[in-house]
């Protein structure tokens, strides 16, 4: 009876099993279910029949949608834990303490499901543990990235465990991992900075295949700095949605104070965006790339730089000065879209820019389905944990 009672209270939120299942039968959950089923089908098809029938990947395009969306874009978008965790655990910024656990949870799930996607994007996914057990390619950037992903996921678990052990009532374990949080965050700053930059370094080996406007020796720095502003932007959007949807979990919640903290975060976001913009302009000037701006790819580059970096900087400054929180939240969302666009430009659009459009890589429906399903799984698990564990209140 105790086990059943625990399961009912902790998992089913105090409902009977039938009532809980009936509550899941909503139009939105139906759409989610369809996405997940299609993703499972695509995964099964890829495992049984391989890359050839399931994807449009080739020797010319060995990296497609899965690596571009679920690694190059999703990993930097999973950096809110780094940004907020560093402020709270290392610099003791108490204003952001209420944001720490949601941020860490978002990072944990982003990395876990991003890596799960990566596993099945490997030709020999059954050998995914080789870099950790048998073969140590110390000279390889991919080896560095693999180990950093593995270590940072462990760090996120350490930072998340206090909430988990509070939930199950294990006070000693909770206190132990709460003490380890500072050390885990310190290591996480080093680890995350390393692999965010390493993702950019992966493209340094293709100077003739990546368009000159996107290719640069500063690619590791661009990827690192963009991951910082992406993490802050994601958290502004995530916090806005989470604290509105799960308002009932909060006691004495002060929206004015919440908005003040979001505005403070947005000031940091502006500073990092300006730093990124200056680095981009320095790159254009140092390598004398101005002539490329007056080409079709140059116009597209300006769309990315002006539309998703310069304009958000302006709108964020206006929103901060006028204290228009919604303006800041929309600007943060626009920054997220800009990060995704940049990763698609580097990973796919500007790659092999000299060939006709008809010869470009286009993903199959199964690639799209599997990518969307992994992102959907991350959202589903996030909602599941937020509803049950002490993430928003503790």
Condensed to tens digits (0 to 9), the pLDDT of residues 221-242 reads 999 999 999 989 999 999 898 8
Could you give the C-alpha distances from 389 to 9, 13, 101, 249, 382, in angstroms and in order? 12, 11, 10, 11, 10
pLDDT reported for residue 1: 45
pLDDT reported for residue 315: 96
Which residue, 219, 234, 252, is CA-closest to 98? 252
pLDDT reported for residue 50: 87
pLDDT reported for residue 364: 95
> How many residues belong to the chain?
394
Alpha-carbon span 92 to 112, nearest angstrom:
27
Could you read off the pLDDT of 148-161 as tens digits, one per residue? 888 889 988 998 99
Alpha-carbon span 349 to 212, nearest angstrom:
13
Alpha-carbon span 45 to 34, nearest angstrom:
16
Average per-residue pLDDT for the chain: 89
Q: Residue 23: how many CB atoms within 10 A of its CB?
A: 12
- Is the model's pLDDT at 36 over the cut of 60? yes
Could you read off the pLDDT of 355-382 as tens digits, one per residue? 998 889 999 999 999 999 999 999 999 9
Residue 225 near residue 217 (C-beta atoms within 8 A): no
Alpha-carbon span 134 to 278, nearest angstrom:
43
Query: Of 1.20.1630.10, 2.40.40.20, 1.10.287.130, 3.90.1150.150, which CATH number belongs to 15-388?
Result: 1.20.1630.10
pLDDT reported for residue 394: 53
**SS3 at position 151:** helix
Which whole number is the average pLDDT over 173-196? 84
């Amino acid at each position: 009876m105790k086990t059943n009672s625990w399961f009912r209270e902790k998992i089913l939120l105090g409902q009977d099993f039938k009532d809980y299942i009936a509550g899941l039968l909503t139009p939105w959950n139906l759409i989610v279910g369809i996405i997940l089923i299609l993703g499972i089908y695509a995964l099964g098809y890829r495992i049984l029949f391989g890359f050839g029938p399931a994807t449009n990947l080739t020797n010319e395009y060995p990296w497609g949608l899965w690596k571009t969306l679920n690694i190059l874009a999703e990993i930097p978008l999973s950096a809110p834990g780094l940004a907020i965790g560093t402020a709270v655990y290392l610099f003791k910024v108490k204003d952001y303490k209420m944001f720490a656990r949601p941020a860490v949870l978002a990072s944990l799930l982003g990395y876990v499901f991003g890596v799960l996607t990566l596993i099945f994007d490997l030709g020999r996914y059954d050998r995914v543990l080789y870099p950790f057990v048998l073969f140590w390619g110390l000279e390889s950037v991919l080896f560095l990235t693999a180990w950093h992903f593995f270590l940072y996921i462990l760090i996120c678990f350490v930072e998340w465990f206090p909430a988990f052990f509070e939930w199950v009532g294990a006070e000693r374990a909770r206190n132990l991992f709460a003490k380890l949080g500072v050390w885990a965050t310190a290591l996480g700053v080093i680890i995350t900075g390393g692999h965010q930059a390493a993702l950019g370094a992966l493209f340094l080996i293709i100077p003739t295949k990546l368009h000159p406007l996107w290719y640069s020796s500063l690619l590791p720095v661009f990827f690192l700095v963009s991951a910082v502003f992406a993490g802050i932007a994601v958290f502004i959007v995530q916090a806005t949605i989470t604290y509105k949807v799960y308002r009932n979990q909060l006691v004495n919640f002060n929206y004015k104070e919440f908005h003040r903290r979001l505005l403070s975060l947005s000031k940091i976001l502006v500073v990092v965006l300006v730093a990124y913009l200056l680095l981009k302009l320095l790159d254009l000037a140092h390598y004398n790339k101005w002539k490329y701006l007056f080409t079709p790819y140059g116009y597209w580059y300006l769309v990315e730089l002006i539309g998703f970096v310069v304009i958000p900087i302006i709108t964020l400054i206006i929103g901060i000065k006028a204290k228009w929180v919604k303006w800041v939240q929309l600007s943060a969302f626009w920054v997220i879209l800009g990060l995704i666009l940049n990763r698609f430009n580097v990973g796919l659009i500007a790659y092999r820019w000299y060939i006709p459009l008809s010869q470009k890589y286009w993903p199959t429906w199964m690639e799209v389905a599997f990518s969307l399903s992994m992102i959907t799984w991350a959202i589903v698990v996030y909602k599941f944990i937020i509803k049950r564990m002490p993430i928003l209140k503790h």
